[in-house]
Structure 1
């Protein structure tokens, strides 16, 4: 009898937790359809290296449209899953989450949702708009702590960027969640203060990218650092090596779709006036 009660309690607890998790997830039927297509596509590579799984996953989404602001459509913070369209950050998050789902051996939509939440939110917990990892340097810091990424910029000969990060609170009108919510603005300010207590982050200056190209791993996550005041990065993607050329695969706002860029990483950064270099973070 005691064992039956224990089992019933565990099942009830699981149901409550699962129900709460499901209520926090926002997706469309088509996203599940895309996921099933992906699962069929990636299955032959399930036992291969993480690098190859990442590559095949990123390539699966080539030509998908670029759309900004897909995470900000709800009044309350939810895990938004959108496999139909991406901005540069949601592309990176989705590819890593799907690759981790594949490598785990549990190719289920629920596992993917859990993996995505772990990547997108501070310590994997959804607790309001401020729990989302908005700044890339903060996103990288937290995902290194969670053993999802490895910080590589310093060992490549990177330098420490010590600028103050406060772009969001300095430009609240650019964020719907901050325009009229002073309480949330204070929470984001607290997050910025925590980021700034870390005394900066490492990045590889743009004049060193070419010299270090051979050492930058294929499918390492890349973030382009910027000279814009208060901001850490402006764009993200994955390093992509083909025929000896180091470029990157990303959701491009200029091309309005996911592409393998025709420029090298170095040339792309050099062409962007505000680009100062790159953060390099291999996926574990």
Structure 2
């Protein structure tokens, strides 16, 4: 369970944050601690933070069991703080040392704020909020061209952490991040913390992080859950998709490939239960040789996942429909080849993906129309 820790400091809301084919089940499911991880912090860290900002300390007895609920008592000195900028505050948070008194380490990466602020500035200058949600998605995706691809990011930590990064991506993190930013811009919400909230909503079952099993590991599950919350709509069937007719059990059948399931029987059984629920749903896909025939029905910003013939798995990669300058439809994605890039033609790209049989398509729902 994550807890957001906010401190009122001269009107600033301070939030402490940290952060190839196995198959890309997702290329999607992993993110390193170079990003932001929103986590629980103890009262002792609050006292240490106050000392970092004020240079003063107070002799208080703190036990390891004191958590955020007792944190306000640590704000004894904050009303007398000199003015400090948000960027300076982040630098202070980033300097916090590791401590055995924390349930989870909280690490802020000030360098990740810059790309977000740059995108926000661009969005305001271009009045992106006046465009359709799909156009916003493509415009935001453009801002990350050339950012490096990094596989296996979310699973590097032993415990589930809410990680957000704007400096490198796997294929799903790219889609999630662009979608979350675009949804905020559509309603002129430029707050970074709300971006973090939206990513959590998109990534986890019922929109809340609650351990490894709460992550939406299968793309079909990701679509189903986000469709329930009106974040996206699965349009594969209406585009002429056909049933995949396969049992999704790749994770349980390859337990040894997932450290979290190897060491925890309860987590393994939870994944088995999720797969059983998925068996009750029909997964449709558009065969590769039919993709070009639906170009006229696709829109920039549509989410595309590469359907696969790998046993037990639904998709191996994902990206976003991209309208090139000449009108041709391609795919912008965090490519395992090395960086965020644009494949000029969608169908031609899918043909070159190993084990690909077609695509699954989900369309972002405009939050202004909900």
Name the TM-score, length of structure 1 as normaliser: 0.88
Residues of 2 paired with 1:268 and 1:47: CA distance? 31
User: Does 1:277 pair with 2:277?
Assistant: no
Q: CA RMSD in A?
A: 2.0
Cα deviation digits, residues 169-218 of structure 1 (max 9, x gap): 111222221222222111111111111122x2111111111111111112
Cα deviation digits, residues 225-272 of structure 1 (max 9, x gap): 000000000000001122131110000002x0000113x111112222
Q: Does the 8 Å contact 2:145/2:339 carry over to 1?
A: yes
Residues of 1 paired with 2:108 and 2:16: CA distance? 15
Residues of 1 paired with 2:122 and 2:212: CA distance? 34
Residue 46 of structure 1 deviates from its aligned partner by 2.7
Match runs of 1:33-44 below 5 Å: 33-44=114-125
Residues of 2 paired with 1:103 and 1:27: CA distance? 27
User: Does 1:86 pair with 2:174?
Assistant: no
Residues of 2 paired with 1:84 and 1:34: CA distance? 8
The residue number in structure 1 matching 2:252 is: 169
* 2:349 maps to which of 257, 268, 272: 268
Residues of 1 paired with 2:134 and 2:113: CA distance? 24
Which range moved further: 161-170 or 269-278?
Answer: 269-278
* 1:231 maps to which of 313, 318, 325: 313
The residue number in structure 2 matching 1:70 is: 153
The residue number in structure 2 matching 1:180 is: 263
Q: Does the 8 Å contact 2:176/2:199 carry over to 1?
A: yes
Residue 26 of structure 1 deviates from its aligned partner by 6.4
Match runs of 1:201-280 below 5 Å: 201-242=283-324, 243-254=326-337, 256-262=338-344, 264-280=345-361
Residues of 1 paired with 2:220 and 2:263: CA distance? 26
Q: Does the 8 Å contact 1:218/1:241 carry over to 2?
A: yes
User: Does 1:114 pair with 2:197?
Assistant: yes
The residue number in structure 2 matching 1:150 is: 233
Q: Does the 8 Å contact 1:26/1:79 carry over to 2?
A: no
Cα deviation digits, residues 114-153 of structure 1 (max 9, x gap): 1111101111111100001011011011111110111111
Q: The residue matched to 2:293 in structure 1 has which SS?
A: coil
> How many residues are treated as equivalent by the alignment?
265
Residues of 2 paired with 1:190 and 1:19: CA distance? 34
Q: Does the 8 Å contact 1:26/1:81 carry over to 2?
A: no
The residue number in structure 2 matching 1:191 is: 274
The residue number in structure 1 matching 2:136 is: 53
Residues of 2 paired with 1:281 and 1:65: CA distance? 25
Higher share in helix: 1
The residue number in structure 2 matching 1:15 is: none
User: Does 1:102 pair with 2:161?
Assistant: no
Q: Does the 8 Å contact 1:88/1:237 carry over to 2?
A: yes
* 1:23 maps to which of 27, 30, 39: 39
Name the TM-score, length of structure 2 as normaliser: 0.68
What residue ranges of structure 1 are gaps of 5+ in the alignment? 1-10, 12-17
Q: Does the 8 Å contact 2:306/2:317 carry over to 1?
A: yes
Distance 1:119 1:205, change over 3 A: same
The residue number in structure 2 matching 1:4 is: none
Q: Does the 8 Å contact 1:219/1:282 carry over to 2?
A: yes
Q: The residue matched to 2:130 in structure 1 has which SS?
A: coil
